[in-house]
Amino acid sequence: MSGSKVPWASLAKSAERVRGRAHAPYSHYRVGAALLTTGGVVTGCNVENASYPLCICAEGAAVARAVAMGRRRWRALAVATPGPEPGAPCGACRQILAEFAPPTLPIALVVDGVVVRRTTLGELLPLAFSGKTLDGSVKEPEPT
């Protein structure tokens, strides 16, 4: 789906709403994600842990929930963070998204319920590691 046909305002509102449910007692950096799938919107929020490596990002939570619901065809993603600058998915979440979505997946970065920037997964994660890499169908360039 083209990014222009996505109901961005509604998706941003969903991401902002679920951001309020985040568990972020340490960083106080609440994040919400709303993943538009062919079966509807699936949301997730970050869940911190005193042992920081055990934290769950909002995007990863939304992906896990969508997969558990059998929704593997995605149309767009909105990520809501506190401002003033929008936050983009972390590197790990970009890789998690790349497991299921094409590089053309439109992504909106949201602050205070407003889309402040639109991008794509491919712009956020060029040269993503994928199953094609593992099966040898992607060839490494010859050294120059």
Enter the tokens of residue 117.
């920037």
What are the residues facing 77 on neighbouring strands? 35, 107
Catalytic-labelled residue, pool 59, 85, 140, 142: 59
State which amino acid sits at residue 121.
Answer: L
What residue type is assigned to position 106 of the chain?
P
Task: From residue 38, give the alpha-carbon distance in Å to each of 9, 35, 69, 71.
Answer: 18, 10, 12, 7
Write down the residue that tokens 């319920």 correspond to.
113
Cis amide bond preceding 84, omega within 30: yes
Instruction: Please choose, from the candidates 70, 78, 4, the residue with its C-alpha nearest in 3D space to the C-alpha of residue 38.
Output: 70
Would you call 140 a catalytic residue per the annotation? no
Q: How many residues are given for the chain?
A: 144
Return d(Cα 25, Cα 138) in angstroms, integer: 43
State the catalytic residues. 59
